[in-house]
Structure 1
Amino acid sequence: MTDVVIKSDVNLPGLPEAVLPAINQLAASLGIPREVLASEEDIAYAWRDLPRELREIPPELRGELIARMCVAVSAGLFDGAMNYIWNAAILHLRQKIRNFGLPVVAQILQRDFEESQLVELQDARLLELALKLNIIDEDGFFFLDQCRNVRNNFSAAHPAMGNINDREFTAFLNRCVRYALADSSSPRGVNIGAFISAVKGGRFNDNQCQIWVQRLNETHDAQRRMLISMVHGVYCDPATAEPARLNAIDICIGLRDNFNSSIRAELVDNHSEYVAKGLEEKHTASLQFFEKLGLLSLLNESEQHLLFSRAIDRLWFSHTGMNNFYNEPPFAERLLELSRQGAVPETIQDKFVSVVASCRSGNGYGVSNEAVPYYDQMIQAFSPREISALIKSAMDKKSILGGKIQRNASCMRLFKEAIKQIDVASVSSTVRADYDRLMR
């Protein structure tokens, strides 16, 4: 049963009668045009809309920064108000990560992660981490990342590129509230130590197994993926006692119906590592693991999957790093060579298509010209399934590719150049309308 959240109304006082005349007098005394400051109408409308947004913020989160934001709005300082509400949103997301558990975050990131590193984390990286932990969803990440760009360019935090009006501020406020501040709950991750101790302990009874399956089902995708990967490792370890192996397989059978593509890919990566390192005992146990779960079909292309995954990751890292125009070509060439040796494994096709098309679409500064021939050859060889994945990704504003080309005219132009490489006859009827829309 879902808990009903009671929202408390926020009754702000009317704008002090002296505020608006004082702004006019200030502009006159400084000898500046009144138009450079927010108009009386903009201030009045922004103030009128504030209570509707503020009531979505739980009372315990309406602190000093929210009060400062309200004062700034009353004076028409929307750029300052944006900065206050953004800081409130970031501080709340940071607290949610603390509540999730920094040791758990460190396990997920597979590196040290302490309080000092959380505090020093840049806003962009904080949003990425919150998405990874499922503290925000993909919608929240998309809109909050937009807010981050607006805040960096139009707020009082930095020299502003221009002014915003009341409607733009209210939209900014709504997104900060809706995707960061509206929910005061802070779900915690599963205690990794307790979970592994339970798995390696005595044989589970039915209730014990159901409890752990429920906890893993209710936790975040990123942690669930990590814990299932750890359980796979426990099962494949030759030193593991038989009760622990049976516990591991029971947990995974209970979760199997909810295995998403990321979990399946992680298991395939782990299996491929055993093959690559010549760990025969672990490899044999891993085969048994996949057989018991009815997932043997995933292993047909496991070695190829690992090679593609690494090559794609290295290309993306070079594309998003410094001097990408100079660094991309060898990684693009390497990926092209791999793709020519056989069909791209289905488990990695979506990622392959997204990264190749995103790199081919460049960024706001252009594209790596020396890498373009390699990208074009890969796009020309896309299978009908890969073409469909490409079109769907391009039409999805929340995807990396879709967000890029729909926000940047240069990237859209380069993307259109790229998809001209595709034979129209290979475009599935299910995405043909979207394909035609993109080509217009």
Structure 2
Amino acid sequence: MKDIVAREDVNLPALPNTVLPAITELTEALGIPRNVLASQEEIEYAWRDLPRELREIPEYLRGELVARMCVAVSTGLFDGAINYIWNASILQLRQKIRNFGLAVVAQIQQSDFEEKNLLELQDSRLLDLCLKLNIVDEDGFFFLDQCRDVRNNFSAAHPTMGTVNDREFTIFLNRCVRYALADSASPKGVDIGAFISAVKGSKFNDSQRQIWIQRLTETHDAQRQMLINMAHGIYCDPVTAEPARLNSLDICGGLSDRFTASIKSDLINSHSEYVAKGLEDKHTASLQFFEKLGLLGLLNESEQHVVFSRAIDRLWNAHNGMNNFYNEPPFAERLLEVSHQGAIPETIQDHFVQTVVACRIGNGYGVSNAAVSYYNEIIQSFSPREVATLVRSSTNRNSIIGRRIANYGSCRKNLKVVLQLIDLASIPSGVKADYERLVR
């Protein structure tokens, strides 16, 4: 959200009593009709509306061209006023491109782009470049392009096709101010070569991480989208060193709350390409990328199944391995993080419930105390379908849960604690009788 900038009113002097009569005297002296110039009413209305538009222009931009525009308006020379404010707008758009970085523009254009190239750009090409760099949005491009046509055909810059009145001039001025002059902020481009070099270098410290996140935040949407997609590609490349993979995650993680629909679409498309081309290493890494950024919900159910299955299996292996009470917590925590990223795919729900509950009630020797809080949080988030799976598994002696509570008193005791974690409203009517029997 842009900061709200307080604008001071611009108090223009009243039109001198000599100006309007002088226009009449001039036309009479030249022997031409008075109506070839703007009427007194048009001049007065245009002059009255000027302060409202001028106050939106930052004070440092109210320079020579704006002053000339005002003088032109005071005498009804709207065609000259159009030319002056258009030139002021073009100068400001050029400055915004300089602020973005001529070297970065050259990288994006894949061609030389120096000050000389900027100055030689025709107005139409300049507007195209501003749209590409997101210096103006699509609305701004549309209205400024219309202004360009008006300036070319109805201003003092060229022989005119006709004249404009005060209202048409005020609309022209409003669009120049709104889309070129009023917003003094401009995005700063990111040097693509420096970005790649930094990401592929040594592991970021906190300061480096914040600097690169800030740079990508300040650039325009299209470049941010391109660089995030590049970071995803670096992460998924099997030859990428681990520090570079972590740097890619650091940057994307710091920007994930700014991911637009276009950025997400790009990431999904890149991920799908790995699948389509059979690039297994890159596909696996891409799954990890989505998982670590909390974006599993963007993937289809079969892709999510793979991620959940891997997390569940790792927890189960730790639970059944040596020193399980000490080794379980990080795997339990990871499964909790994954489960927060969306609904558990139906294809893995049974395995998910059986594993989590079996780990929570223990194996007869006890439970991993450090992992209990993670298990409890997962269980409290069980859907009604998962609750039904838990209850049915507890009454089935052929299930993991059923065998443990049949053989170990500590597991039966822990199961009652587990069942009490569940909100009664989440218990399906079909298993309510079994639930009540189990908690007694």
TM-score range, shorter chain: 0.5 to 0.7
Tell me if 1:246 matches 2:243.
no
Q: Which ranges of structure 1 fall in alignment gaps of 5 or more residues? A: 301-440
**Alignment partner of 2:43: what SS?**
helix
Query: Residue in 2 aligned with 1:117?
Result: 117
Query: Residue in 2 aligned with 1:304?
Result: none
| Cα distance between partner residues in 2 of 1:156 and 1:273 | 55
Query: Residue in 2 aligned with 1:93?
Result: 93
Q: CA deviation at 1:175?
A: 1.4
Query: Residue in 1 aligned with 2:342?
Result: none
Q: CA deviation at 1:184?
A: 2.5
Query: Residue in 1 aligned with 2:177?
Result: 177
Q: 1:285 aligns with which of 282, 286, 302?
A: 282
Query: Residue in 2 aligned with 1:410?
Result: none
Query: Residue in 1 aligned with 2:347?
Result: none
Q: CA deviation at 1:233?
A: 3.9
Q: CA deviation at 1:22?
A: 2.4
Deviations 1:393-417 (A, max 9, x none): xxxxxxxxxxxxxxxxxxxxxxxxx
Q: 1:236 to 1:174 in 2, by over 3 A?
A: same
Q: CA deviation at 1:39?
A: 0.4
Query: Residue in 1 aligned with 2:380?
Result: none
Which one has a bigger Cα radius of gyration? 2
Q: CA deviation at 1:211?
A: 5.1
1:263-302 aligned at under 5 Å gives the runs 263-264=263-264, 266-267=266-267, 284-285=281-282, 288-290=285-287, 292-293=289-290, 294=296, 297=300
Q: CA deviation at 1:18?
A: 2.7
- Provide the alpha-carbon RMSD of the alignment: 3.2
**Alignment partner of 1:11: what SS?**
coil
| Cα distance between partner residues in 2 of 1:299 and 1:145 | 47
2:57, 2:177 within 8 Å by CA — same for their partners in 1?
A: yes
Deviations 1:220-253 (A, max 9, x none): 2022022123323433555432211232234334
1:217, 1:255 within 8 Å by CA — same for their partners in 2?
A: yes
Query: Residue in 1 aligned with 2:80?
Result: 80
Query: Residue in 2 aligned with 1:11?
Result: 11
| Cα distance between partner residues in 2 of 1:125 and 1:58 | 26
| Cα distance between partner residues in 2 of 1:204 and 1:2 | 29
| Cα distance between partner residues in 1 of 2:114 and 2:148 | 24
TM-score after normalising by structure 1: 0.59
Query: Residue in 2 aligned with 1:416?
Result: none
**Alignment partner of 2:183: what SS?**
coil
1:38, 1:77 within 8 Å by CA — same for their partners in 2?
A: yes
Q: Which ranges of structure 2 fall in alignment gaps of 5 or more residues? A: 291-295, 304-440
1:249, 1:289 within 8 Å by CA — same for their partners in 2?
A: no
Q: 1:287 to 1:153 in 2, by over 3 A?
A: farther
Q: CA deviation at 1:68?
A: 1.2
**Alignment partner of 1:245: what SS?**
helix
1:82, 1:155 within 8 Å by CA — same for their partners in 2?
A: yes
Query: Residue in 2 aligned with 1:131?
Result: 131
Identity %: 71
Deviations 1:283-325 (A, max 9, x none): 742562255314555999xxxxxxxxxxxxxxxxxxxxxxxxx
Q: CA deviation at 1:158?
A: 2.3
| Cα distance between partner residues in 2 of 1:123 and 1:285 | 44
| Cα distance between partner residues in 1 of 2:21 and 2:122 | 40
Structure 2 residue identity aligned to 1:14: A
Q: 1:96 to 1:143 in 2, by over 3 A?
A: same
1:356-375 aligned at under 5 Å gives the runs none
| Cα distance between partner residues in 2 of 1:103 and 1:267 | 27
| Cα distance between partner residues in 2 of 1:79 and 1:206 | 55
| Cα distance between partner residues in 2 of 1:233 and 1:298 | 23
